[in-house]
Amino acid sequence: MSLIDVRHLTFGYDGSPDNVFEDVSFQLDTGWKLGFIGRNGRGKTTFLRLLMGQMAYGGTIAASTDFRYFPCPVEDRQATAWQVALQGAGDCEQWQLQRELSLLKVPEEALDRPFATLSGGEQTRLLMAALFAGEGAFPLIDEPTNHLDQQGRRQLARYLQGKEGFLLVSHDRDFLDACVDHILSINRRTIQVQAGNFSTWQQNRQQQDALELQQNEKLKKEIRRMEEAARRTSGWSDAVEKTKKGSRNAGLRPDRGYIGHKSAKMMQRAKNLERRQQQSIQQKKSLLQDAELEASLALQPREAPKRRLLEARGLVLYQGGRPLCRPLDLTLEQGERLAILGRNGAGKSTLLRLCAGEDVAYTGSFYRAPGLEQNIVPQQTHHLRGGLRDLARQQQVEESLLLALLRQMGLYDEQEKKHLDPEKPRYTEEDLARELRLDIVNVVPQPKAGGSFATCAYKNMKEPVAVEYLQADAGLDIGDTFIGMHIKPVAVPVRLSVKSVGEAHLTAVRRRPKSIGGERAVYNPDLK
């Protein structure tokens, strides 16, 4: 047995502001049957690719063994299953491959068929046999149960029980319990290794989460106390500012310059206090670095046009001219939930495609309610292209709703960085000002010296800066003038359907290009 020694591992994708791994260190024994768990987007598959040496990273990964990845790529899917297995097994004797195929109960007749014609479960078992037929390399197994039926999962679990040393990525709890003796977990902020199966890890995890949630309540109270202190400090500035218009004292007018200077100093003091408080809050949040909170999700299907949605009588599905199942009778009515079970290749996916209105060969009778709207979630996702915005556009769903659901499922924070808009970096206010070549000036906005809106923005931005001058393409004003609006010339009014906010008038303005050239010039009416 040997060790896989990970030291100060740091890795991040290009265009992402945060690293997937940040200075993490741990050790793994190649003799362990290691379950690798973590929520989607945490970096499980990324770590496997790092072990394979497919991406550059910081830190070190020291191992005295080679690695082999499951599922291995299949270049020619029209080659026979036996040819694909031989290619995947690499340097081994044919009898070794035949032994593994027999242990996984891959039928001999399937070996002569094109690989592409095998069911998902048959392909999985074939590639798994090829993985373990070769000797000397440490297996990295990525989600092997995706296409296996219940019987196939139990069979694969028994097979892995007889193997020594592998790293298994899976979300199937029962499967992990049946075949692993150690757990490697990627949490929100840490990576942990502990002995036992998934149930043992989960029990320990629940106890840890309960403790962190208790600490969370204490932290919330302290945060509220600190925020209240910041509001009081900020209120001092506003109170001092109001005295600029105070009454005479002993016949003397208030020194407005002095009062404004004092108010600005108090505002800056409040800002500095707020920054120190935020630093303290961030330090305290380390107590809650790994607590996992799950949001409840509910499906709300649309009202169906008919009570009877689907009905089959004597239905037999066909693929390639051969029947997939015995005659089937079923009825699905509004409000019912139907689970489809069956071995791999029995026609479950084919039945779903038929229910979704796709062209599927069958005999018997099949009824689908007219006007029925359905969605289908395919097993394979290799056809997807682009980012989340592209997906929302393709599926004709509201982008904000998609992102809200992903955030509830714990996916948005990670996937946003990699897929939402990977080409667009994030900036602080100061970064943006410098990139736009705006002149940064030294001033702290006050309600009567800079405007209430600027004051509010300055208070609530994390890293605010003030600039001397802006040039905008349009503007809104709650009032009847645009004093202080930095609109590019030439400014023209915009007629609004909403003309007031409460009792205040609402006005708008936009810019148009300058008209030059004199009397003989010709102008584009679309630009006026």
Q: Tell me the CA distances in angstroms from 94 to 17, 87, 123, 128, 129, one per residue in order.
A: 49, 11, 18, 15, 12
Q: Which two tokens stand for residue 291?
A: 């607590």
Long-range contacts (CB closer than 8 Å, 24 or more residues apart) made by 485-491: 485/509, 487/511, 489/514, 490/514, 490/515
pLDDT digits (tens, 9 = 90+) for 421-466: 444 445 577 777 777 778 888 888 887 777 777 888 888 777 788 8
Query: Backbone dihedral region of 495: left (phi > 0), alpha (psi from -120 to 50 degrees) or beta?
Result: beta
Per-residue pLDDT at 310 exceeds 70: yes
Q: Which has the minimum average pLDDT: 25-29, 128-132, 416-420, 451-455?
A: 416-420
Average pLDDT over residues 366-394: 79
Q: Which two tokens stand for residue 431?
A: 């970064």
Average pLDDT over residues 29-52: 91
Per-residue pLDDT at 495 exceeds 80: yes
Per-residue pLDDT at 27 exceeds 60: yes
Per-residue pLDDT at 225 exceeds 50: yes
Per-residue pLDDT at 60 exceeds 90: yes
Average pLDDT over residues 299-326: 84
Average pLDDT over residues 235-253: 56
Q: How many CB atoms lie within 10 A of CB 184?
A: 23
Q: What is the mean pLDDT of the chain?
A: 81
**pLDDT score of 416:** 46
Per-residue pLDDT at 244 exceeds 60: no
Per-residue pLDDT at 250 exceeds 90: no
pLDDT digits (tens, 9 = 90+) for 258-279: 656 666 666 666 667 666 766 6
Q: Which two tokens stand for residue 392?
A: 């929302």
Query: For the sheet containing 3-11, what is the strand order?
Result: 21-29, 3-11, 58-63
Average pLDDT over residues 222-245: 65
pLDDT band at 62 (very low <50, low <70, confident <90, very high): very high
Question: What is the percent of the chain with per-residue pLDDT over 70, rounded to a whole number?
Answer: 79
- State the Cα–Cα distance between residues 496 and 382, nearest whole angstrom: 47
Helices 256-284, 198-242: inter-axial angle, 10-degree rounding:
170
Handedness of CA 304, 306, 312, 318 (dihedral sign): negative
Residue labelled with tokens 């208030």 = 254
Which comes out higher in pLDDT, residue 51 or 220?
51
Average pLDDT over residues 483-498: 80
**pLDDT score of 195:** 94
Per-residue pLDDT at 85 exceeds 90: yes
**pLDDT score of 422:** 43
Per-residue pLDDT at 364 exceeds 90: yes
Q: Which amino acid is at 158?
A: R
- State the Cα–Cα distance between residues 335 and 299, nearest whole angstrom: 11
**pLDDT score of 188:** 76
pLDDT band at 286 (very low <50, low <70, confident <90, very high): low
**pLDDT score of 425:** 46
Average pLDDT over residues 150-170: 92
Question: What is the percent of the chain with per-residue pLDDT over 90, rounded to a whole number?
Answer: 30
b/e per residue 11-48 (b: at least 16 CB within 10 A): bbeeebeebbbeebeeebebebbbbbbbbebbbbbbbb
DSSP state of 380: -
Q: Tell me the CA distances in angstroms from 513 to 211, 494, 496, 516, one per residue in order.
A: 63, 15, 21, 9
**pLDDT score of 100:** 94
Label residue 209 exposed, middle or buried (CB < 10 Å: 0-12, 13-18, 19+): middle
- State the Cα–Cα distance between residues 385 and 185, nearest whole angstrom: 29
- State the Cα–Cα distance between residues 337 and 317, nearest whole angstrom: 22
- State the Cα–Cα distance between residues 79 and 87, nearest whole angstrom: 11
DSSP state of 526: G
Whole-model pTM: value is: 0.59
Q: Is 280 helix (H, G, I), strand (E, B) or coil?
A: helix
**pLDDT score of 280:** 66
CA 491 to chain centre: 43
- State the Cα–Cα distance between residues 105 and 154, nearest whole angstrom: 12
**pLDDT score of 476:** 83
Q: Is 103 helix (H, G, I), strand (E, B) or coil?
A: helix
